[in-house]
Structure 1
Amino acid sequence: MEATVTVPALEIRELAKRFGEKIAVNGISLDVPTGSCFGLVGPNGAGKTTTLSMATGLLRPDAGHVRIAGVDVWQHPTEAKQLVGVLADGVKLFDRLTGEQLITYTGLLGGLDRETVARRCADLLAMLDLNAAAQTLVVDYSAGMTKKIALACALVHAPRLLVLDEPFESVDPVSAANIRDILQSFVRGGGTVIVSSHSMDLVERMCDHVAVIAAGRVLAAGSVSEVRGSSTLEERFVELVGGRAHVEGPSWLSRS
């Protein structure tokens, strides 16, 4: 009897992107296992956001290819984008709509019928504690509420892969805990989550796989236990990336 071969939720091969003289992504290859919570970590300017933008069809790569559940993102973009939900860092929302209108618009744009959109919109608003703000314009939302409504839009079409770029930035601890519960439930239900974050503690607690990237290259990838070894993920990250300076502050900062 032949073993069943599981197609990766996301397959990246030799992905590259240059902006003028700057090489942002330099031949990155990664496999994100189906059903995993995968952390993508790296210093500022490492190429995380550029990589995720190319992986989800938001930015065309200079070289390489990407497949979501076996579907080539750039050869079959419509089919691939139906499989993925994206919370992109810094991407402008249609913030002159109310929260309810924004989720509804996103669901209809994704091809859902109005009845399904209405039902899912109500579920998402309740789940993310946004019922009280449902009729408020998104432009008047706090930074944390904006993150939550963007997550609702990423979830409304029930994607197989969820790609989140800094999803917990500006989110209060209670909301962050609720979002983690939602994502863990999504993974238990057979979905796959990719989280890009600067918080090593969060990635270590939440993710089962992780990749460390710097200067547009993968420095380490695998299960969290494999990558961190006998140290913490933060210690391993600093060891791989380098740049830590053990220096004392200037004398005028000392009170003793």
Structure 2
Amino acid sequence: MLKIEHLSKNYGDKIAVDDLNLHIAPGEIYGFIGHNGAGKTTTLKSVAGILQFDTGEIYIDGKSIRTQPLECKHSFAYIPDNPDLYDYMTGIKYLNFIADIFGVSAKDRQLHIRKYGDIFEMTGELAQPIAAYSHGMKQKLAIISAWLHQPKLILMDEPFVGLDPKAAHLLKGMMREVCDAGGAIFFSTHVLEVAEKLCDKVAIIKKGKLVRSGTMEEVKGDDSLEDVFLELEGESC
């Protein structure tokens, strides 16, 4: 579903991502963890086609994000760590705008907006301007918009930040449903307990370099993910 091959990205003299290789297969929830500035957001933005990268290749469903960006973008959805929505729009206008971009039919968009709006208890708020939404409500709206066109791959940067416990629980269930249907999830998080319980596989990045990856059992063994992460953080690269 997603192949990242020898990805490198520099900002001047700073190496943000250094020869990163990852493969996320259909059916997998893949967690991406690391300290602030480790390269998680740069990687996700590169996969989403927002950032140009210096070397390497990224393939989404067999297509290159570098040479076939539009075809790739029809296959995935991306939720940034701080959703930058159009505050002048109402929630429903924003969702219809996203549905128009992805060519979602009137019947399907109505079905999905109602389904996910009800799940997050947002249906009654969709007529309100986004400017009046709390951070948590904006996060819920971004999640609903990501699910609208039923993408094969969903990329998320710290998706649980700002969500209340109930909404976080609902999102975890939605993530599993996507993967059970043959899709894949690639997301970053600082909430290691969530990653440990939810993810099929996990990758740990430090100063732009991949330091460990694999199934949860392979990465943490008999320890907790938190213990492994803190141990790796204490080692020199």
TM-score scaled by length of structure 1: 0.89
Match of 1:23 in 2: 15
- Structure 2, unaligned stretches of length 5 or more? none
CA apart distance, 1:13: 0.7
What's the CA shift string for 1:28-64, capped at 9, x where partnerless? 1111121101000000000000001001111111111
Match of 1:82 in 2: 74
Q: Does 1:149 align with 2:106?
A: no
What's the CA shift string for 1:182-227, capped at 9, x where partnerless? 1112211211111210011000011110000010110000001100
Match of 1:94 in 2: 86
Match of 2:184 in 1: 192
1:11-90 → structure 2 map (5 Å cutoff): 11-90=3-82
CA apart distance, 1:82: 0.7
CA apart distance, 1:180: 1.0
Cα distance in 1 for residues equivalent to 2:18 and 2:90: 40
Which stretch of the first structure deviates more once superposed, 101-110 or 119-128? 119-128
Cα distance in 2 for residues equivalent to 1:72 and 1:14: 14
1:100-139 → structure 2 map (5 Å cutoff): 100-139=92-131
SS in 2 for 1:239: helix
Cα distance in 2 for residues equivalent to 1:205 and 1:73: 31
In 2, are the aligned partners of 1:10 and 1:32 still within 8 Å (CA)? Answer: yes
In 1, are the aligned partners of 2:83 and 2:138 still within 8 Å (CA)? Answer: no
In 2, are the aligned partners of 1:83 and 1:160 still within 8 Å (CA)? Answer: yes
What amino acid does structure 1 have at the position aligned with 2:74? Q
In 2, are the aligned partners of 1:108 and 1:114 still within 8 Å (CA)? Answer: no
CA apart distance, 1:16: 1.0
Q: Does 1:225 align with 2:213?
A: no
Cα distance in 1 for residues equivalent to 2:124 and 2:134: 13
Match of 1:250 in 2: none
In 1, are the aligned partners of 2:15 and 2:208 still within 8 Å (CA)? Answer: yes
What's the CA shift string for 1:151-194, capped at 9, x where partnerless? 11111111000111101001111111111111112211211111
SS in 2 for 1:51: helix
Cα distance in 2 for residues equivalent to 1:237 and 1:149: 32
SS in 1 for 2:5: strand
| Number of aligned residue pairs | 235
CA apart distance, 1:91: 4.4
Identity in percent? 32
CA apart distance, 1:114: 3.0
Superposed CA RMSD: 1.2
In 2, are the aligned partners of 1:99 and 1:137 still within 8 Å (CA)? Answer: yes
Cα distance in 2 for residues equivalent to 1:35 and 1:55: 18
TM-score scaled by length of structure 2: 0.95
Indicate the structure whose relative CO is greater, using CA pairs within 8 Å and at least 6 residues apart.
Answer: 2
Aligned residue among 158, 164, 177 for 2:169: 177
CA apart distance, 1:115: 3.3
Match of 1:213 in 2: 205
Cα distance in 2 for residues equivalent to 1:148 and 1:88: 12
In 2, are the aligned partners of 1:180 and 1:206 still within 8 Å (CA)? Answer: yes
CA apart distance, 1:128: 2.0
Runs of 4+ in 1 over 3 A off after TM superposition: none
SS in 2 for 1:93: coil
Which stretch of the first structure deviates more once superposed, 100-109 or 178-187? 178-187
CA apart distance, 1:148: 0.8
